[in-house]
C-alpha cells in the first residue's frame, strides 16, 4: 500500500490530501503544489494492471459521462475529482430526515436513463452506492458515476436488481422507508427505463444469495421478495 507522499505527473508536483476507502486499489485526493492548487483523484493500481485497463475501457464506453482524465500510465490514473457526497450518505440522510423516497428515485432514474441511452447494451456493473457522487446543490443536484472498472455488456435489470438488494441492506436494513424506496424504484424502472420487473426480481434474488455467502448473512430471501413484490 502506498503511503502519503508527493507525486510528479506531467511536470506538476502534487501532494496527497486524503486517502479514500478502497478495498483493492489506493485512491487518493491530491492537490497540485502551485498557485492553482488543483484537486484531482489519483488511483494507484500497483498490483492490478488489468483493473486499470478495465477502468479505462469502462470510461471509454461511457465517455459522455466519464471523468476528465489528466494522466495515465501502466500503474497510475489521475482524473477529475467530483466534490460532493456519495449516494450512500445522501440515501442515509434522506431516510433519517424521512425525505420522500421520490427524491432519490427521481435523481437515480434521470441519471440511469441518460447513462444507458449513451451506451446501449452496457451496464455499470458495480452499483455500490459509494460509486456515485451527488454533485451540485439541491434543485440542481446530479449524480456522477466514479467507478468504471466493472462496466460490461449486460441487461440493465442486472444493475437495477442489485441496486434494490444493496438499498435494502444498507444499515439499518429492511426498514419501511427502504421498502418504499424499492417499490417506487421498481415502478419507475418499468416506466422510465422500460425494464422488465421479473428480471429485476431475478437479479435481486441472485444478489441476496451472493450477499448471504459474502457477508455471512441469513437474509430470508423468499420473505424479502414477497414484501418487495
Ligand atoms: N472522481 C472522484 N471524485 C470524488 N471522489 C472519488 C472519485 N473517485 C473516487 N472517489 C472516492 O474514492 C472511493 C473509492 O474509489 P473507487 O473508484 O470506487 O475505488 P474502488 O475500486 O476501490 O471501489 C469512492 O467511494 C469515493 O469516495
Ligand atoms: Mg468503488
| pLDDT band per the 50, 70, 90 thresholds, residue 136 | confident
Residue 46 pLDDT grade (very low, low, confident, very high; cuts 50, 70, 90): confident
Of all protein residues, the one whose alpha carbon is nearest to atom 14 of ligand 1 is 22
Name the residue with higher pLDDT: 1 or 43. 43
As a whole number, the mean pLDDT across the chain is 94
Instruction: State how beta strands 26-32 and 12-20 pair.
Output: antiparallel
**Ligand minimally distant from the alpha carbon of residue 86:** 1
Q: How far is the CA of 104 from the centre of ligand 2 (A)?
A: 19
pLDDT, residue 1, reads 47
pLDDT at residue 25, rounded to an integer: 81
* Mean pLDDT in residue range 95-113: 97
Among 7, 31, 22, 32, which Cα is nearest to 147's? 22
Residues within 6 Å of ligand 1 by CB: 20, 22-25, 27, 41, 67, 79-82, 86, 130-131, 133, 146-147, 149
With pLDDT > 90 as the criterion, what percentage of the chain qualifies?
86
Name which residue sits closest to atom 25 of ligand 1, judged by CA: 130
Q: Which CATH class is domain 6-80?
A: alpha beta
Q: What is the pTM of this model?
A: 0.94
DSSP states along the chain: ---S-EEEETTEEEEEEEEEP-SSSEEEEEEESSTT--EEEEEE-TT-HHHHHHHHHHHHHTGGG-PPEEEE-SSEEEEE---SEEHHHHHHHHHHTT--THHHHHHHHHHHHHHHHHSTTEE-S---GGGEEEES-GGG-EEEE---TT-EE--HHHHHHHHHHHHHHSSSTT-HHHHHHHHHHHHHHHHHH---HHHHHHHHHHHHHHHHHHTT----HHHHHHHH-
CATH topology of domain 85-228: Transferase(Phosphotransferase); domain 1 (1.10.510)
Q: Where are the domain boundaries for CATH 3.30.200.20 in the chain?
A: 6-80
Residue 155: count other Cβ atoms within 10 Å of its Cβ. 16
pLDDT, tens only, 167-204 = 999 999 999 999 999 999 999 999 999 999 999 999 99
How does residue 78 score in pLDDT terms, banded at 50, 70 and 90? very high
| From-to residues of CATH 1.10.510 in the chain | 85-228
pLDDT band at 220 (very low <50, low <70, confident <90, very high): very high
Q: What is the average pLDDT across 57-79?
A: 95
Name 188's Cβ contacts closer than 8 Å, sequence gap at least 6.
105, 106, 109
Contacts of 72 (CB under 8 A, 6+ apart): 52, 56, 78
Strand partners, 85: 134
pLDDT category of residue 2 using cuts at 50, 70 and 90:
low
Amino acid at each position: 500500500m502506498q503511503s502519503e507522499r508527493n507525486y510528479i505527473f506531467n511536470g506538476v508536483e502534487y501532494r496527497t490530501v486524503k486517502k479514500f476507502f478502497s478495498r483493492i486499489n489506493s485512491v487518493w485526493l491530491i492537490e497540485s503544489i502551485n498557485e492553482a492548487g488543483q484537486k484531482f483523484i489519483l488511483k494507484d493500481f500497483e498490483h492490478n494492471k488489468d483493473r486499470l485497463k478495465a477502468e479505462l475501457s469502462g470510461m471509454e464506453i461511457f465517455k459522455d459521462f466519464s471523468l476528465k482524465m489528466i494522466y495515465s500510465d501502466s500503474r497510475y490514473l489521475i482524473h477529475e475529482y467530483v466534490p460532493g457526497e456519495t449516494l450512500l450518505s445522501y440515501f442515509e440522510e434522506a431516510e433519517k430526515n424521512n425525505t420522500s423516497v421520490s427524491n432519490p428515485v427521481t435523481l437515480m432514474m434521470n441519471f440511469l436513463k441518460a447513462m444507458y441511452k449513451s451506451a446501449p447494451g452496457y451496464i455499470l456493473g458495480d452499483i455500490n452506492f459509494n460509486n456515485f457522487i451527488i454533485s451540485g446543490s439541491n434543485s440542481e443536484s446530479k449524480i456522477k458515476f466514479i467507478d468504471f472498472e466493472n462496466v460490461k455488456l449486460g441487461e440493465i435489470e442486472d444493475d437495477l436488481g442489485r441496486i434494490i438488494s444493496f438499498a435494502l441492506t444498507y444499515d439499518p436494513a429492511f426498514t419501511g422507508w427502504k421498502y418504499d424506496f424499492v417499490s417506487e424504484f421498481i415502478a419507475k424502472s418499468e416506466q422510465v427505463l422500460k425494464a422488465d420487473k421479473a428480471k429485476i426480481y431475478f437479479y435481486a434474488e441472485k444478489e441476496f444469495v451472493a450477499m448471504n455467502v459474502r457477508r455471512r448473512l441469513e437474509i430470508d430471501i423468499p420473505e424479502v421478495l414477497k414484501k418487495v413484490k
